[in-house]
Amino acid sequence: MTPIYCFDSESRRFAKDLVRALNLQAGVPGAPLALAKIGFVMRESVELANARRWAQKSGNTVYIWSKPAQDVSHQVAGTTVRCFEIYSAASELVAVSESNYERGPVPPKLAADRQKVWLCNDGIRIGEREALDLKEAEIRHAAETLQPAICVGVKPWNHRGIGKLIGRGRNVRFVKDPETGFKEAAKTRSRLIGWGNSVPNSIIEVCRQEEIIFQRIEDGFVRSVGLGAGLISGASVAFDDRGIYYDPRSDSRLFRLLNQLDLSARQLERGKELKRILEVARVSKYNLTGATPELAAGPGQEVVLVPGQVADDMAVRKGQSDLLDCENSPNINIDLLKNVREDFPEAYVVYKPHPDVAADLRKGKVSEAVAAGLCDQVVSNADIIDLIERADRVVTFSSLAGFEALVRDKPVTAYGLPFYAGWGLTDDRTKSLLRVRQRSLEELLYITLVEYMRAIDPITLNVTTPEILIRRLMEMRERTAGRSKRLALQYISWAARKLGL
C-alpha cells in the first residue's frame, strides 16, 4: 500500500475529490475504498511534522500535499479551490514538503515528476487559468453581496438558490409584495431586488430618491436541467442595476456593456473557449432531452426552425418589433409563424413550442389545425440543440434559441430586438438606432455570460464560473436518476396551476 498523507484536516473530502480527479471506477463505494483498491491508504493530520514523520518511517513512493490557503488554495463565499502536487521521488520527500510548506522553490530534479491537480466544487477538475477565473468571480460576488438584500417576486421553491446568487444565503430576505420590500429595505438600509418587473416604477423612483440600491434579476442564459415552471431552481441569473436585458425600450446594464466595453486579449480568448465548450457540451438554457423525429424536408429544401415563446412572458410583452404587435398580440407564436411563412414561402418550416407551453404550464399554445396551415412540422419534445443543428436557419421573435443558434454558427433572423440582435451577428427585421457597435460572437459570449450573468454550482450552491456551470449541467443532464423527480415536480406545478394555486 502507498500511504497518502494529508495535513489540511479534510482528508475525507480530499479522498473523494482525488477519486474524481484520477477518474477511478465510479462503482466502487466510498472514496477511501476506491483508493485502497489501487494501493493507496489515507492518513490524516493537521500537523506538517506528522506528515513528514510518517513519510520518513514508511519510505513511501507517492506523497500528495495540499498547499496552504494563502498560497494557491483560496476560499471565498464558501468555495475552495485546492492545488494538489503529486510527487514520485521518495528520497527528497522531506525537503520537498518543508520547502513547499514554506512556499520555497521546488527542487529542480523533481519538477519532471510532479503533476498538478486543481479541484473545486465537489471534485470538478479544472485548469490553473480556470482557478483564477473562479477566484475573480468569488471576489466579485463577495463585493456585490456585502450589503443585505430584500427580494421581491421570487417563488418559494427558488429561494435557496437565489439567496446564494444575490447574497450569502443568510443576508437575503424574501417578501411577497414590493411595498413591504421597500419598507424593509429603507428600514434596514438593504438593497431592494425585484424579479423581472415585480417592482413598479413608482417604487423604483422612490428608491432612487432615498438612495436605496435597486436591482433586477431574471433567469440566466444557462440555467438548469429542467423547467423553471416545473419547479426546478435556476443556477444563474441576469443581474441588472439599470433595467433588464429583454426590454430593448429601456436602458440595461447588458446594453451598456455591449455598446461600450472594450475587451482584452484574455477576455476574447475566454469568449472563444465559451463557444467551444458550449458546442462540445451541447448545453442550452433548460437542457431537456428528447428524441428528435426525422424532418421530411425535400432535397435541397431550406429547413427553417421557429422556436415558440410564452405568449404572456415579459420577454414578449416588453419586446420591440417593427412587424409584430408583441405588446397586445393574444398569441405571438401565431403572428410569428404567419410572417415566417410569408417571408420564407419555399422553406420547410419546423415549429417547436416553448417547453413551458408544451408542458401546459404557460400560455401560447398553437392548435394543430392552426399550425397545419402555418408550418410543415411541429416538434414538441425534441432536444433544441438537435433541432438547431439540423436546421439551415433559425427565425425567432426574441427566443434564447436564437442565441444558442449563433453559438453553433447558424444564421438567425430576428423579428424582434433580443439582446443578441443589432450587433451585426443576425438578420434583423427590427432596426435599432442605439445599438451602434459591431460585435463578434466571442465578444457577445464573454460579455453576456461572464460580465452580465451570475452563476452558482447547482449541487453545492457555491459561486462558480459559466465554464464550470456548463460542465456541471452537462454532467447532470446525463444522469437518469433525477428525471423521475423532474417529471413529478412538473406534474405538481401543472396541477397547482390548474387549481389556481
Instruction: Quickly list DSSP for 431-469.
Output: --SS------HHHHHHIIIIIIEEEE-TTT--EE-HHHH
Strands 79-87, 63-66: pairing kind: antiparallel
- Given this model, what pLDDT does residue 339 score? 96
Q: SS3 helix, strand, coil % of the chain, rounded to 5?
A: 40, 15, 45
322 located within any domain = yes
334 located within any domain = yes
Transcribe 346-392 into DSSP letters: TSEEEEE--HHHHTTSSS----HHHHHHH-SEE--SS-HHHHHHH-S
Lowest-confidence segment of 112-126, 310-324, 398-412, 485-499 by average pLDDT = 485-499
Is there a contact between 11 and 44 (Cβ–Cβ < 8 Å)? yes
- Given this model, what pLDDT does residue 501 score? 54
**Which range, 79-83, 165-169, 171-175, is most confident?**
171-175
- Given this model, what pLDDT does residue 9 score? 42
Q: Mind listing the pLDDT tens digit for each residue in 82-118?
A: 444 443 333 333 333 333 333 333 333 333 344 455 5
Strands 412-414, 427-428: pairing kind: parallel
- Given this model, what pLDDT does residue 132 score? 78
Domain count, the chain: 2
Last residue of a domain, one of 126, 161, 190: 126
375 located within any domain = yes
Kindly state the percentage of the chain with pLDDT values over 70: 69
**Residue 349's CATH number:** 3.40.50
Last residue of a domain, one of 126, 141, 166: 126
Is there a contact between 382 and 352 (Cβ–Cβ < 8 Å)? yes
Q: Strand, coil or helix: what is 219? A: strand
134 located within any domain = no
Mean pLDDT of 438-464: 95
Does the pLDDT value for residue 444 go beyond 90? Answer: yes
27 located within any domain = yes
Mean pLDDT of 439-460: 96
Q: What is the mean pLDDT of the chain?
A: 79
- Given this model, what pLDDT does residue 83 score? 45
26 located within any domain = yes
- Given this model, what pLDDT does residue 16 score? 60
pLDDT top residue among 355 and 403? 403
Q: Strand, coil or helix: what is 314? A: helix
Last residue of a domain, one of 89, 106, 126: 126
| φ, ψ for residue 74, nearest 5 deg | -150, 155
Question: Residue 449's closest CA among 293, 330, 201, 271?
Answer: 271
221 located within any domain = no
Q: Which three cell numbers stand for residue 387?
A: 433541432
- Given this model, what pLDDT does residue 307 score? 94
Question: Residue 93's closest CA among 70, 65, 69, 72?
Answer: 65
Q: What is the DSSP letter of 297?
A: P
8 located within any domain = yes
Which residues constitute the domain of residue 17?
Answer: 2-126
Q: Mind listing the pLDDT tens digit for each residue in 11-70?
A: 455 556 555 555 554 444 555 555 555 545 555 444 445 555 555 555 443 334 443 333
What's the distance, Cα to Cα, between the start and end of the chain in Å? Answer: 60
Residues forming beta bridges with residue 84, ordered by sequence position: 66, 117
- Given this model, what pLDDT does residue 162 score? 95
- Given this model, what pLDDT does residue 12 score? 53
CB proximity list for 294: less than 8 A, separation 6 or greater:
none
Q: Mind listing the pLDDT tens digit for each residue in 235-292?
A: 999 999 999 999 998 899 999 999 999 999 999 999 999 999 999 999 998 887 777 8
